[in-house]
Structure 1
């Protein structure tokens, strides 16, 4: 019995040694993998920290760029408004005349021709003598083909007051020249023309209701209704007024 116990003890010790050796043998590759994974994880953590730092820096830079862009957009809009205002101020003494047939000048100076034409069309009701003009020319562009509308005439008056007289007369009278009905307008920039054109629809509605209105410089609509005067800076404001105060009460 004593020998059996001794043998079992020896066998148990041997088995423990074998199992320990097997475990150690198996743990080696696993430990190597764990070590490699740990190194990879540490590398990822380091790169993630660097990325977060870079993203934070980029976010700050992006925020600053957005602020700068906003400021630049505001400044650009302000400068564009100033340029447009200066352009229109430089045209304050100008008018445009549409529908004057091509070649009406017949070789003579355009300034002389237009001055005499205005005197003929408007008469002494507006001018005591042919108005003095600084410049007069057809709008830039190729000569239109037969059957196409003639190029507009752009005229610069020497005296601003005479230009205003001509425009007032044109708003109240029909201008005829050699069978053509002339259209006389202020000479304004393309941007301002687009802004003024936005009031077209509401102006048509007011005209249909016999409501008096004027389109003021640069692009504001003045409406006279029920002995009151209203001023609108945008077509949306004017349309809302029309819907609530005119159309809704019919």
Structure 2
């Protein structure tokens, strides 16, 4: 029990005692007046006691509220600081994403330009496939390939064509039973390279019982792009439809009296499925590549 509550009860007992004492010592009117006066005094005391009691009881709550307000103010400051930081980070992130996008675009453009330059530097090259391993004299690949072209391409050359260089593909030497390495040939004259490629498209080149194949020498990236047309090329070939894979990677198709150009395998396959598939096969067409 609190001190104020004890004092209040004590005051009530004192009042009761006074009232009993006045009732025995005074007449009725005096008693009523005295009782009224005493009641007023006790009422004032009661008000003071209640006020003190309420003040005492509210003090911890007020202190808690003050702490709560302080915490709220602190949180508001922290939220404001976080919002400011987030806003700054968002702006920085937006700028970074924009810069990354621009760099990616630039990188793609530069990669395409480098690949184009690489392929242009290979324009005088051919890849000869299926030449048996160890067919050439040791250390004289250029003379070997030059003589091979003259001796196995009819009357195309009256003398061995001039080559700048020739070497086997830089991969591990195959084991017995595996396909031989390709031979990469750089012609001194682009015209000679074109004559060889054109002749090989129209004729079969046989060396030591092996049929040789001739292809342009391309970068890995461009070879992958051109390989994407392999499926539709096979389908067109079976239908006897004339086509040609142009440099760098475009498919030209002659169909129904029209010449159509396709820049992507997907476009060519869509054309085939919508216009060609289901038609009767014709004699197989020849395949040409630039």
The interval holding the TM-score normalised by the smaller chain is: over 0.9
1:233 lines up with 2:227 in the alignment:
no
Q: How many residues align?
A: 249
Give the TM-score, by structure 1 length: 0.96
Indicate the residue corresponding to 1:95 in structure 2.
126
Q: Distance in 2 between matches of 1:153 and 1:212?
A: 29
Q: Distance in 1 between matches of 2:181 and 2:208?
A: 16
Indicate the residue corresponding to 2:25 in structure 1.
none
Indicate the residue corresponding to 1:120 in structure 2.
151
Please report how far the alpha carbon of residue 225 of structure 1 lies from its aligned counterpart in structure 2 after TM superposition.
0.4
1:63-212 alignment runs, 5 A limit:
63-124=94-155, 126-212=156-242
Give ranges in structure 2 of 5+ residues lacking alignment.
1-31, 281-290
Please report how far the alpha carbon of residue 249 of structure 1 lies from its aligned counterpart in structure 2 after TM superposition.
6.2
Please report how far the alpha carbon of residue 94 of structure 1 lies from its aligned counterpart in structure 2 after TM superposition.
0.1
SS at match of 1:50: helix
Give ranges in structure 1 of 5+ residues lacking alignment.
none
Indicate the residue corresponding to 1:245 in structure 2.
275
RCO comparison, higher one (Cα < 8 Å, 6+): 1
Q: Distance in 2 between matches of 1:27 and 1:248?
A: 93
Bigger Rg over Cα: 2
1:44 to 42, 61, 75: 75
Q: Distance in 2 between matches of 1:243 and 1:69?
A: 39
SS at match of 2:87: helix
Give the TM-score, by structure 2 length: 0.83
Indicate the residue corresponding to 2:29 in structure 1.
none
1:21 to 52, 56, 75: 52
Q: Distance in 2 between matches of 1:157 and 1:58?
A: 58
2:244 to 203, 206, 214: 214
Indicate the residue corresponding to 1:34 in structure 2.
65
Moved runs in structure 1, 4+ residues, more than 3 A?
Answer: none
SS at match of 1:188: coil
Over aligned residues, Cα RMSD in angstroms? Answer: 1.3
Please report how far the alpha carbon of residue 47 of structure 1 lies from its aligned counterpart in structure 2 after TM superposition.
1.0
Range that drifts further, 150-159 or 163-172: 163-172
Q: Distance in 2 between matches of 1:198 and 1:71?
A: 28
